[in-house]
Amino acid sequence: MSILKNKWFFAIVILFLAGLTKIDGGDYITCTNRKSKCFLKHLYCPAECPTASPSNPNAKVCYLNCNSPVCKPECRNRKANCNQPGAACLDPRFIGGDGIVFYFHGKSNEHFSLVSDLNLQINARFIGLRPAGRPRDYTWIQALGLLFDVHAFSVEATKAESWDNEVDHLKFYYDGKELGLPEGYPSIWESSENSIKVERTSNKNGALITIPEVAEISVNVVPVTKEDDRIHNYQIPSDDCFAHLDVQFRFYGLSTKVEGVLGRTYQPDFKNPAKLGVAMPVVGGEDKYRTSTLLSSKCNSCIFSPAGVLKESDPLVMDFGTLECTGGSNNGRGIVCRK
């Protein structure tokens, strides 16, 4: 009888401790990528972000980077963060994989390759205007075009005369067909072959686009505000608020050959030409990265190939997907963030 009691005692203790772990943390999270060191390891989400699918769109989500050597769940925002690496916001202001801020103005109503790798191409359509007396266009990113495998996907901000938060300005297209993604959080669409997923991160004007094991793209539609217009003297007309995309990219397993306005900053030996200490360090590259359309893979420096799937032997750059620039350096990874 005493042996039986001891067994029950230890069983109760184990259940109690398991319950404490659950209380201290949250949901289980794991990786299904067999190449990951985190493959099928069940880890608890931290108490600060107990679930990967919060009911509140403003809450932080639990996230496990399957390409990281450290199997540790972390909290993050799903909306585009314009002050972190991989960001492309404003007119447009980029933060490279090296953590350096730079501006690339391009030209209004033209297209440029932001990322061109063996298995991924991301182009951007720029909109803008040139007030009298200005030497160049003011530009913003209005749409993104993605090419991967044999598929094409695009997301765009629709034109608006004036801004209304209660109107959704996002449109999505997959292989030439518009997606009927319902408004409201959390509305989700996934392709039949599971090659891409689109999730709304807010009821309107915010989404997260995921190409598994390749990239995550957070997009938010925003207008050029009257305050921005006043500060920068854009001279925005009364019939167009220039609704555009604020974007943040997270890449997984880019090759060392990656190109593009933003992509080149992920090359391990890239020397950023942006001048440090300048208010608006502008870099060029229009001729190298101009494409004829939003979904064209051809530019003078583009390397994308529909059959260019990375092989295990291909050299990969470090995963920069979760770099934080709140301090001067990034967790000993040899990257310095500069503002």
For the chain, 339 residues long, the average pLDDT of each consecutive 10-residue run is 51 41 65 78 89 86 80 85 95 96 96 97 97 91 97 98 96 96 94 95 96 94 96 95 97 93 97 89 95 98 78 52 41 33
Strands 197-200, 188-190: pairing is: antiparallel
Is residue 200 packed enough to be buried (19+ CB in 10 Å), middle (13-18) or exposed (0-12)?
buried
Q: How many CB atoms lie within 10 A of CB 270?
A: 17
Q: Where are the alpha helices (DSSP H) in the chain?
A: 2-24, 226-232, 286-289
**Count of C-beta atoms within a 10 Å radius of residue 15:** 10
Alpha-carbon distance 164 to 275, whole Å? 38
Helix, strand, coil percent values for the chain (each to nearest 5): 10, 30, 60
Kindly state the tokens that stand for 194. Answer: 């599971």
Strand partners, 63: 74
- 56: three-class secondary structure by DSSP: coil
- Stated as kind and residue range, the H or E segment containing 188 is strand 188-190
Q: Give how far Cα 187 sits from Cα of 32, 145, 206, 337, Å.
A: 23, 21, 11, 35
Contact 198, 207 (CB under 8 A): yes
Q: Do the strands 177-178 and 170-174 form a parallel or antiparallel pair, or are they unpaired?
A: antiparallel
| DSSP class of 15 | H
- Residue 332: per-residue pLDDT: 28
**Length of the chain, in residues:** 339
3-state secondary structure (DSSP) of residue 103: strand
Q: Report residue 267: phi and psi, to 5°.
A: -65, 135
Structure confidence at residue 152 (pLDDT): 97
SS3 at position 6: helix
Residue 235 CB contacts under 8 Å (≥ 6 apart), including other chains: 129, 131, 229
Map residue 76 onto helix, strand or coil.
strand
Residue-level pLDDT at 16: 39
What pLDDT, on the 0 to 100 scale, is given for residue 118? 95
Residue located via tokens 């500069």: 338
Whether the model clears a pTM of 0.85, i.e. scores above it, the answer is no
Q: What angle do CA 117, 122, 125 make, to 5 degrees?
A: 145
The pLDDT of residue 315 is: 57
